[in-house]
Amino acid sequence: MSDRTNDVSNRSLSNLDLETPEKPYLDSNELVINMGPQHPATHGVLRVILKLDGEKVLGTECVIGYLHRGVEKIAENRTYTMFNPYVDRMDYVAAVSNGLGYCEAVEKLMNVEAPPRAKYIRVILTELNRIASHQLWLGTHALDIGAMTPLFYTFRDREEILKIFEKYCGARLTTHAFRIGGCQYETYAGFEKDIKNFLAFFPPKIDEYETLLTTNRIWLERTKNVGVISGADCIALGVTGPVLRASGVKWDLRKAQPYAAYSEFDFEIPTGENGDTFDRYMVRMIEMRQSLRIIEQAVNGLPEGPIMGKVPKVIKPPVGEIYHSIEAPKGELGYFIVSDGSTQPYRLRVRPPSFVNLQALDVMVRGLLVADVVAVIGTLDIVLGEVDR
């Protein structure tokens, strides 16, 4: 792992210091090193400046913005419909969730609602995407920590979800699955069968992941009591999603302020106790099982009917503003839209969960080792496309 190379350079540097006693920084072992932006364990282009004492982290500073594309500026220069595919490019791992949040926000602004069938299809695809997002998180997070097998397992099984997406809308990753007012596509022939096959196929796979990790001594050593954050700190820092729940705060927007059709389904919100990396792992594992539960209820109760609501061809919301947020796989994803009555948003603000959660990195890694920084970045489950927008 790369931290080993950092370690070597640290050692050689401090040895140098010992041989030149005039240097004023001899007394302290403080060292500032740079991690990233081109670093495999930072999941994209995140640069972290680490202040170290030996291998202990004294403080960090994140340098972000390498992927900044000005999504909010683009939104002001596109119509509501044209901007829809752009939101998929923020959290590209969970593109369906982004689309759901955006479409619902615009619908709310226009005071229209998607028909029940569209809502159910939305829930099914969004929950599938939550599983896909957690699978990608698990694979890469375990790889960072040194367990290589889960990556192959999760990517193998994620393929089944991507195949359903591809069959439904033609795209695997940036799906653009929903439209303002509902869904563009009716489900394909065999959709329900595919979903039901997946429901039978996937639970044993979660068990498989768990046999690899949950009782694995190395995994426990690397995750227990690593990156601990309290529930109060999470709230103060605005951290949401599985990270908040692993710290013992039972809060999920799907329950707290239900959107789409979530109020009609029965599911649990898993919480952790210690707020460490292991608890966050467990919370996400249980969330995958709960997502399956939601999908099962949705596919069994899938109502008949139209899939598009009464939405004009030209989307022109009345003057006003709206904030709408959903529970994305990474936390609260919100859209704040100001309309001036034209076909383009006057201002569109995205409240990205990854960006806000990343702010907690500094609190979580202080006092840990460099190798744990990698574990904590993994457990925060950030997507730099969303951090930088």
Partner 1 sequence: MAEEVKSPAPPPPPEGEKKPAAEKPAAAAALVAPAKPAAPAKPAGPVPLPWTSPLVEKYRSQYGSGLDPQTYLGQNYLSVDRSLIPDLLRLLRDEEQFNYCVDITAVHYPKREKQFDVVWILYSFPRNERVRVKTQIADGASLPSSVSIWPTANWLEREVYDMFGIQFDGHPDLKRILLPDGWTGYPLRKDYGILQQDKEWVQINLGIESGQ
Compare residues 285 and 365 and give the one whose CB is closer to partner 1: 365
Nearest-approach distance from CB 294 to partner 1, in angstroms? 19
Identified binder of partner 1 from the candidate list 40, 203, 318, 367, rule CB under 8 A: 318
**Residue among 23, 30, 34, 70 that touches partner 1 (CB under 8 A):** 70
203 prior amide bond cis, ω within 30: no
How far apart are the C-alpha atoms of 142 and 375, rounded to whole Å? 8
Which residue of 276, 287, 372, 388 would you call a contact of partner 1, by CB under 8 A?
Answer: 388
Work out which of 36, 139, 182, 334 binds partner 1, going by CB under 8 A: 334
Site residues for partner 1, window 227-286 (CB under 8 A)? Answer: 235-239, 249, 251, 256-257
Closest approach, Cβ 81 to partner 1, in A, equals: 18
Of the two residues 74 and 369, which places its CB atom closer to partner 1 in the complex? 74
Pick from 170, 301, 303, 320: which binds partner 1 (CB under 8 A)?
A: 320
Q: Which is nearer to partner 1, 8 or 232 (CB)?
A: 232
Integer Cα distance of 270 and 246 in angstroms: 8
Q: Which is nearer to partner 1, 8 or 32 (CB)?
A: 32
Q: Nearest distance from residue 180's CB to partner 1, in Å?
A: 15
Check if the beta carbon of residue 38 is closer than 8 Å to that of residue 45. yes
In the bound state with partner 1, the residue whose beta carbon lies nearer, of 252 and 372, is 252
Instruction: Indicate whether 327 belongs to the interface with partner 1 (CB under 8 A).
Output: no
Read off the tokens for 33.
Answer: 């090193």
The answer to whether 379 touches 280, Cβ cutoff 8 Å, is: yes
- 112 near partner 1 (CB under 8 A): yes
3-state secondary structure at position 58: strand
Helices (H), the chain: 2-19, 71-76, 80-87, 95-110, 116-145, 149-169, 191-213, 217-223, 231-236, 242-246, 253-256, 277-300, 353-358, 361-365, 370-380, 384-388
Extract the tokens encoding 162: 């991507």
Of the pair 150, 345, the CB lying nearest partner 1 is at 345
Secondary structure letter of residue 93 according to DSSP: G
How does DSSP assign 308-328, residue by residue?
B-S--SS--PPSEEEEEEEEE
Contact set with partner 1 (CB under 8 A): 64-65, 68, 70, 72-74, 76-77, 108-109, 111-113, 235-239, 249, 251, 256-257, 310, 318, 320-323, 325, 332, 334, 336, 338, 346-347, 349, 351, 355-356, 359, 388-389
